[in-house]
Amino acid sequence: MRSWILALSIVLGLGVAAGPSLAVMQGQEKGGDDYTGPYTVVPKWPVPSRLAKPGRIFGSTSGIWAETPNRVYVSVRGEIILPETVNGRKVPPNFTGAFGALGMQATSQVPDMRNCILILDASGNIVEAWTQWDQLFQDGRGPHQIIMSPYDPERAVWVVDDMRHQVFKFSNDGKKLLLTLGESGIFGDNDDPTHFRRPTDVAFLADGSFFVSDGDGNTRVLKFDKNGKFLKMWGTKGTAPGQFDTPHAIATDRNGRVYVADRSNDRIQIFDAEGKFLDQWQNIRNPYTIRVSEDGFLWVSSGVLNEFLKYDLNGKLLYHWGTYGTAPGEMWSVHEFSADSDGNLYVAEVFGGRAQKFAPRPGADPAKIFRQQRLMPKNASN
Amino acid sequence: MRTAVMSAVALALALHTAAPVEAQQQPNFSGTWKLMKQDPPTTGRGGGRGGGDDRGALRALEATPVTVKIAQSGNDLTFESTMSDGWVRTLQFKLDFAYTENPLPPGGDGGEPRLNGATKTRGRWMGNKLYLHLTQGLGQRRDILTLNGGMLAIQRDYETPGGSGTLYLTFTKVS
């Protein structure tokens, strides 16, 4: 009797243990290494383009911002020379792949500043090229980031140019330059409120005020009112709380907290809207870009890990995915990322020299999908 | 008495007005200057021609001359730098902030292709400090020149895609 009960328990136990696994196995594809996380890469996005001059190719891709699934802004650091050979092998003159696929960083040349701001549709076609503004980036290395404020019904487009030390605000259609901060080609020191030294990113508050991380040269954050009037700044060079070493990205949450990717200090620092230090999360290697999601999490792209990392707003690491490489779905230093309202993820690879689009897998865990902060409805007049 | 007080006030006002004008007077940096001090010490071009990485880019822009020869006249300034290995570079500046394009001599990029190309220069006064700006490929440099007790002080800030830095150089006049 005892052995019969034991046998029954084992069978029941196995049933309980094996039941769900078997059920999962029956509906699951076999194999796979999940290197694109909860997404699948969208092939041929962008559609290969011949927009670059003959003998040239798009260079470093620095920024990307999805206003809608059908209007994705991409900032490109101009065009660079397509080599005739790489490691003794001939490169086809009509090569339209990414520069990184040749095994070289897309930042390795002095670029020709053409086609620096592009707009792509859902299929990856280039539908606009704001060539009217290319001259702004001459003598520099092109845009550093491109972004919109989630609180702006006009949907103005902000572009940061680190090597020319300027921040630009364009009308949504690209016809007007609405605001310029900084002086072209002139850098300022850490105590100079009118000149940047290689600014890196912009983040916004609901009242229209905004922050600039400054940057690759200086070690501070500046706050401006909605009209671009300087309000305050904080930060010096160092490793103590409130100090920075390459503040490379900045983001805000809905409560007005300010998150700064303190890149060379391998950490995220958190401040209130007036610059009061609140917290720091350490041991986050080379945070290139940070964005707070609509559902209240901080997402980080690590330039050296080539991974996305998801943190709750107390700094707890919840999830990460990503793999280095130049094949579709792999990444080489994501410099900015964005997501549209359908959950598609877009990445700009600064060394890979390309943009990629990832679509959520059917049935993907929603907790693993980056949800960009929702934009205010666009003004009807636009 | 009243006249004396008014005169004193007028004199004080005149002196008050004159003092800042004198402080803001733009110095003339012309002469040959010998490097006395460099902070921090580096291995600039004087120590070698640099490599092809970002450190090479930094070396090319931070290049520390052992002597500089400056000719300043009105709106024009010529800045000739001689490095410890005898390499000479001459840059022309307009001091009204207009650009001058200078050819890049052999070796001027420090072996860094991203610093290859003509050098654009321009200068302007900020009070009695002279700001000399230089853009070369993706590199930039800013020299801030001041005269201090007969010594020429240059704060040299540079930026490249791979990094940035500051040097403080002090020169004494030799002719």
Q: pLDDT at residue B7 above 70?
A: no
Q: Distance between CA atoms of B169 and A299, rounded to whole angstroms?
A: 44
Residues of B in contact with A303 (CB under 8 A): none
Alpha carbon B43 to chain centroid distance? 19
CA distance to partner chain B, nearest, from residue A163 (Å): 8
What pTM, to 2 d.p., does this model score?
0.87
> Mean pLDDT throughout A338-345?
98
CB pair distance less than 8 Å for A141 and B133? no
The whole-angstrom distance between B80's CA and the closest CA on chain A is 22
Q: Which residues of A touch B159 (CB under 8 A)?
A: 163, 187, 197-198, 216-217
Say if the Cβ atoms of B157 and A187 lie within 8 Å.
Answer: yes
Q: Quick check: A3 pLDDT over 50?
A: no
Alpha-carbon distances, residue A320 vs A299, A310, A351, A358 (angstroms): 9, 6, 21, 15
pLDDT tens for A253-267 read 999 999 999 999 999
Over residues A57-82, the pLDDT tens digits come to: 999 999 999 999 999 999 999 999 99
Residue A221 banded pLDDT, cuts 50, 70, 90:
very high
Q: Evaluate whether the domain defined by A164-319 bears CATH number 2.120.10.30.
A: yes
Whether the per-residue pLDDT at A20 is higher than 80: the answer is no
Assess whether pLDDT exceeds 70 at residue A314.
yes
Q: Which of B117, B142, B159 sits opposite A110 (nearest CB)?
A: B117
- Sole residue written with tokens 């983040």: A203
pLDDT of residue B109: 79
**Contacts with A212 (C-beta within 8 Å, 6 or more apart), sequence order:** A160, A167, A181, A196, A199, A201, A202, A221, A222, A224, A250
How many angstroms separate the first and last alpha carbons of chain A?
Answer: 81
pLDDT of residue A93: 83
Tell if the CB–CB gap between A185 and B114 is shorter than 8 Å.
no
**CB A139 to CB B164 under 8 A?**
no
Q: For A157-181, what is the mean pLDDT?
A: 97
Closest chain B residue to the Cα of A198, Cα to Cα: B159
In this prediction, residue B18 has a pLDDT band, given cuts at 50, 70 and 90, of very low
CA A56 to chain B, closest CA, distance in angstroms equals 16
- Grade residue A95 by pLDDT with cuts at 50, 70 and 90: confident
Indicate the Cα dihedral angle A130, A133, A137, A138, nearest 10°. Answer: 110
Lowest mean pLDDT among A161-170, A287-296, B3-12, B45-54: B45-54
**Residue A5 pLDDT > 70:** no
**Residue in B112, B140, B142 to test binding to A, most A beta-carbons within 10 Å:** B140
Tell me what pLDDT residue A224 has: 98
- Taking only the tens place, the pLDDT of each residue in A41-50 is 999 999 988 7
> How far does B1 lie from chain A, in Å, by closest CA?
49
Q: What are the contacts of A322-327 at 24+ separation with CB within 8 A?
A: A322/A35, A322/A37, A323/A35, A323/A36, A326/A98, A326/A100, A326/A101, A326/A103, A326/A352
pLDDT score, position A16: 34
User: What are residue A11's phi and psi, to 5 degrees?
Assistant: -60, -45
Nearest-by-Cβ selection for B116 from A110, A139, A163: A110
Task: Note the pLDDT of residue A94.
Answer: 83
A-chain CB neighbours of B113 within 8 Å are 108-110
Q: What is the mean pLDDT of residues B73-102?
A: 94
Residue ranges per structural domain of chain A? 1-15+36-135+323-368, 164-319
- Beta carbons of B116 and A141 less than 8 Å apart: no
A contacts of B124 (beta carbons < 8 Å): none
Q: What is the pLDDT of residue B175?
A: 92
Tell me if B114 and A109 make a contact (CB, 8 A cut-off).
yes
Report the distance separating Cα A257 and Cα A293, nearest Å: 13
Q: Indicate yes or no: CB of A217 within 8 angstroms of CB of B161.
A: no
Average pLDDT value for chain B: 80
DSSP A183: B
Residues 6 or more apart whose Cβ sits within 8 Å of residue A250: A200, A201, A202, A203, A211, A212, A213, A221, A258, A259, A260, A261, A290
pLDDT exceeds cutoff 80 at B44? no
pLDDT of residue A18: 36
User: Which of A141, A163, A186 lies closest to B133 in CB terms?
Assistant: A186
What's the gap in Å between the CA of B166 and the closest CA on chain A? 11
User: Is ipTM strictly over 0.90?
Assistant: no
- DSSP string for B114-142: GG-S-EEEEEEEETTEEEEEEEETTEEEE
Q: Residue A132: is its pLDDT beyond 90? A: yes
CB contact under 8 Å between A217 and B164, yes or no, is yes
The pLDDT value given to residue A7:
39
pLDDT of residue B85: 83
Confidence of residue B61 (pLDDT cuts 50, 70, 90): confident
Contact (CB<8Å) A198/B159:
yes
**Closest Cβ opposite residue B159 in set A110, A139, A217:** A217
Please report, rounded to a whole number, the percentage of residues in chain A having pLDDT higher than 70: 92
Nearest-CA distance from A140 to chain B in Å?
6
Per-residue pLDDT at B4 exceeds 80: no
- For residue A42, what pLDDT is reported? 97
A189 Cα to chain B: minimum distance (Å): 10
The predicted structure's pLDDT at residue A122: 98
Q: Do A110 and B133 touch (CB under 8 A)?
A: no
Q: What are B127-149's pLDDT values in tens digits? A: 999 999 999 988 999 999 999 98
pLDDT at B27: 96
**More confident call, A93 vs A18:** A93
Q: Which of A105, A216, A264 to mutate to test the interface with B (most CBs of B within 10 A)?
A: A216
Within 8 A of A140 by CB-CB distance, chain B residues are 138
Range with lowest mean pLDDT among A5-14, A65-74, A184-193, A289-298:
A5-14
pLDDT of residue A13: 34
- C-alpha to C-alpha distance for B88 and B107, rounded to whole angstroms: 10
pLDDT of residue B43: 46
**Do B159 and A187 make contact, defined as CB atoms within 8 angstroms?**
yes
pLDDT at B22 > cutoff 60: no
Task: Show which residues on chain B lie within 8 Å of chain A, measured between beta carbons.
Answer: 113-114, 116-117, 120, 133, 135, 137-138, 140, 142, 157, 159, 161, 164
The alpha-carbon gap from A350 to the nearest alpha carbon of chain B, in Å, equals 12
Distance of alpha carbon A1 from alpha carbon A365, whole angstroms:
46
Cα–Cα nearest to A204, from A143, A157, A248, A262: A157
pLDDT tens digits for A196-216? Answer: 999 999 999 999 999 999 999
